[in-house]
Every structure is written in C-alpha cells, then in structure tokens.
Amino acid sequence: MNLKKHLFLILFFLSLSSFAQKFENLALTPPMGWNSWNHFACDINETIVREMADAMVSSGMNDAGYEYINIDDCWQGLRDSLGFIHPDKTRFPSGMKALADYIHSKGLKLGIYSDAGWKTCGGCSGSRGYEYQDALQYAKWGIDYLKYDWCNTTGLNAEGAYLTIRDAIYQAGRPMVLSICEWGDNQPWEWAKDIGHLWRTTGDIYNCFDCVYDHGTWNSWGVLQILDMRDNSMLRKVAGPGHWNDPDMMEVGNGMSVNEDRAHFSMWCMLAAPLIAGNDLRKINLPTLEILTNPHAIAINQDALGIQGYKHGVVSNVDVWVKPLINNEFAVCFLNRSVEPASIVFDWKNNPFNDEYSQQSANFDMEVYALFNIWESKSDGNTQKSLKTVIPGHDVLMYRLKKSKN
C-alpha cells in the first residue's frame, strides 16, 4: 500500500469520527485476565507471554473465567516510514500477529498497551499523533484489549484524548476493550462511561497490604490505601455492565501473606473490580491458585446485577462490606484491617441492609438468610443468631446470603 493510500485511509477515518462510539456488549462483567507489569515490568518478551497463556490454560484459570493475556509497557519497537508502530524485534521476533494467533488458539484474548502521550511511562513510543494508525495496526494484529496510559501528556485534555483513541478503535473495526489508565486524576467517573469499558480510579498498586512506597515524585499504594483513596459511595453509582471502576491490577501471589492475598482478592470481588492477575503464572503455588480461582468469590465479582459493593459499617474495628447480588441475595465481607486477630459479634437483626442505589434490602428481624462461607466452601448457619467469631489479622470472613425457604 502506497503513502497516498495510507493518508487517504487515515483522513477517511478522521472524517467519520463524529459517528464513532465505543464497542458495546464488551466487559458486561468485570474483565478477568493477566497483565505483565506487576511482576515483569519492562522485562517482557514473546516467550514469557506464550508461557503465561499456556499456564493460564493448564492451571485452570481459564476455566475459572480468566481470558485476557495483556502485554503492558515496553513491547514497542520503532515506527516505520509511514508512522506505523512495530514491536521490538529482539523481544518479539515473531511479531504481534503471530503472537495473537497463538493466544487465540488457546481460547484466550490478547491485550496490549499504549499511552496518550508522546512517550509511554517506560519511555517507549506513545500514541499521540498516531492514534488512528495505532488502532489500525492493533486491529490488523488481532488485539482484543487496549490499556491506555497517561504519561507525558502535557497540554492534553484527558477526556478529549480518550475520545480520540475510542473513535480510532471504533473506526479500525475490531472490537477491543478500552482500559482507561489516568489514575483517577481527571475524575474519569464523570465522563468515561461512554468512552471506555473500565477506568482507573487510583494510583498504582504495589505488593504490600498497608504501605505507601515513595518514589520521590509519585507514590505506589498498598491494598488498604487503594481502598481508602476514593469515595466509594459515589463511585459505585457510576459503574455497571460495560463500564467499571478499576482500583488497579492485583498483587495476589507477588509476596504478600496468604491472609493478605485472600483479603485483597475478596475486596476486589466486592468492588466489582476487574480481576487482572499480575503474578508469574508459571510458578503459581497452590494457595495462590486457590485464591485466584475460588468459584464462589469469582461469582460475587461476576454477578450479573453488576452492582459494586459498599461499606455498611464498622464492628469491633472490622469493616463490614455488603454487595447486592441477583435474586435479592447479598455478599458480606468482614475485613480485618489490623495485623492482630479481631473478635467480633455481629447482630444481624440490628444491622438491616438497605441499599437505595440497588433498591435491595434485607430485614433480618423479619427474614432469615442462610450463610454460605466463601473461603471454606460450606454452609455456616443463618442470620437468626448473632455472628460470633475471630478474624485473623489482615484477613476476611466472606459470606453469600440467600433467603431461607423456611
């Protein structure tokens, strides 16, 4: 294809941008997958990506619902004379089309990364000025998911920049999930519903449960800090099927304790957050695998109602979170933020649920709900009696509540 034809196609796509929209019927439940950044950062190549896909299938994670293999920053090579991006020839010698074909042959989907600025956060070529060309290239390769970052964006308007890449993806003609990653700095929950399928609400997470990592000019945040960063009572009203709040990828399996990993995963399920693993799937141990593939916890996250949970209150210094589910069921998660074990007594009858947003309620003085223990996979009595238990430090007790037939 000659230069004039390339320019014609780009101008043609630009002329159609007023008719563009985001692809619908994607991410109707929070996306589930894996991303390279948390464990590998820039040390990524096609062999690792293929091995992650193999491990996602062989470990049973794909059967549990995980489907995206997402390459983060540092895959980029040079642009050609026409401005089209190509992968780094050393890291990805077979090319992205061959890699996408391999991922698809496994029954999985491939995600990729770019940035609204001139350069990515890792210093590679960003998409500024090349949005339509990049979208065409991704479509040609067979990409299914785009994480779009916000480094080196001086002078850009966030909503406008993400509209541009949304329109470019739509005109390229291949449905892709668009993950907006500007850390919540520009209040994307106010404008991103019709642009992306998920948007970051926080800064970057790292593998610590209750910490802040000071990089000098910016911070990484522990799990509890991420939970506290935004007003959840506001955020939950803007999320739902096809448009999710994203508190960042998970650090399960990256060095925290089993208790902390379990609490981390539970809270992401309660928040209806995307479940994007970030560990080395090739070396996953059994406790980590059991957390990431717990079917009862995943069912809470993937619930078709698509309602994000909320903080119901605090009892004995333990946070109590509630998530409305289909069929007027509920998930309840007791989160012990302390490193010390916490003894709690929770009187269901004095703690009715009344969620005005979902218009679901439970009056335990009038109705009895059976308790199913998510992490022990067993029935655990009902709401007729007060709950009396001890929750280990940095851990959770998580239930699914279903109205009793009696």
Active-site choice (149, 246, 248, 355)? 149
Does residue 149 carry a catalytic annotation?
Answer: yes
Domain boundary among 250, 282, 301: 301
The reply to whether 262 and 164 lie within a common domain is: yes
The reply to whether 40 and 168 lie within a common domain is: yes
What pLDDT sits at residue 20? 77
The reply to whether 323 and 263 lie within a common domain is: no
Does residue 204 carry a catalytic annotation?
Answer: yes
The reply to whether 130 and 272 lie within a common domain is: yes
On whether the CB atoms of residues 204 and 221 are closer than 8 A, the answer is yes
Question: Using the 8-state DSSP alphabet, how is residue 339 labeled?
Answer: S
The reply to whether 331 and 277 lie within a common domain is: no
CATH number at 320 reads 2.60.40.1180
Active-site choice (134, 204, 261, 319)? 204
Q: Distance (Å, rounded) from C-alpha 128 to C-alpha 116? A: 5
Q: Distance (Å, rounded) from C-alpha 127 to C-alpha 195? A: 17
On whether the CB atoms of residues 49 and 99 are closer than 8 A, the answer is yes
How buried is 174 (Cβ within 10 angstroms: 0-12 exposed, 13-18 middle, 19+ buried)? middle
Q: List CB contacts of 356: < 8 A, sequence separation 6 or more.
A: none
The 3-state DSSP class for residue 398 equals strand
pTM, whole model, 2 decimals?
0.94
How buried is 184 (Cβ within 10 angstroms: 0-12 exposed, 13-18 middle, 19+ buried)? buried
Q: What pLDDT tens digit does each residue of the chain (406 aa) get?
A: 566 655 555 555 555 445 679 999 999 999 999 999 999 999 999 999 999 999 999 999 999 999 999 999 999 999 999 999 999 999 999 999 999 999 999 999 999 999 999 999 999 999 999 999 999 999 999 999 999 999 999 999 999 999 999 999 999 999 999 999 999 999 999 999 999 999 999 999 999 999 999 999 999 999 999 999 999 999 999 999 999 999 999 999 999 999 999 999 999 999 999 999 999 999 999 999 999 999 999 999 999 999 999 999 999 999 999 999 999 999 999 999 999 999 999 999 999 999 999 999 999 999 999 999 999 999 999 999 999 999 999 999 999 999 997 6
List the structure tokens of 274. Answer: 């995307």
The reply to whether 102 and 25 lie within a common domain is: yes
Q: Distance (Å, rounded) from C-alpha 368 to C-alpha 390? A: 23
Q: Are strands 275-277 and 369-373 parallel, antiparallel or unpaired?
A: unpaired
328: domain range?
Answer: 310-403
Distance of CA 238 to the CA centre of its chain: 16
How many residues are present in the chain?
Answer: 406
Task: Give strand pairing partners of 69.
Answer: 34, 110
Q: List CB contacts of 171: < 8 A, sequence separation 6 or more.
A: 13, 16, 17, 20, 132, 135
Which value, in Å, is the radius of gyration of the alpha carbons in the chain?
A: 22
Domain boundary among 301, 323, 355: 301
The reply to whether 280 and 340 lie within a common domain is: no
Domains in the chain: how many in total? 2
Quote the Cα angle for 245-250-256, to 5°: 140
The reply to whether 189 and 337 lie within a common domain is: no
What pLDDT sits at residue 405? 76
CATH number at 220 reads 3.20.20.70
What pLDDT sits at residue 12? 54
The reply to whether 171 and 54 lie within a common domain is: yes
Q: What is the greatest pairwise CA distance in the chain? A: 76
- At 104, the amino acid letter reads H
Q: List CB contacts of 81: < 8 A, sequence separation 6 or more.
A: none
The reply to whether 316 and 251 lie within a common domain is: no
Domain boundary among 280, 301, 322: 301
The reply to whether 289 and 389 lie within a common domain is: no
The reply to whether 45 and 145 lie within a common domain is: yes
The 3-state DSSP class for residue 287 equals helix
Task: Give strand pairing partners of 114.
Answer: 148
What pLDDT sits at residue 307? 98
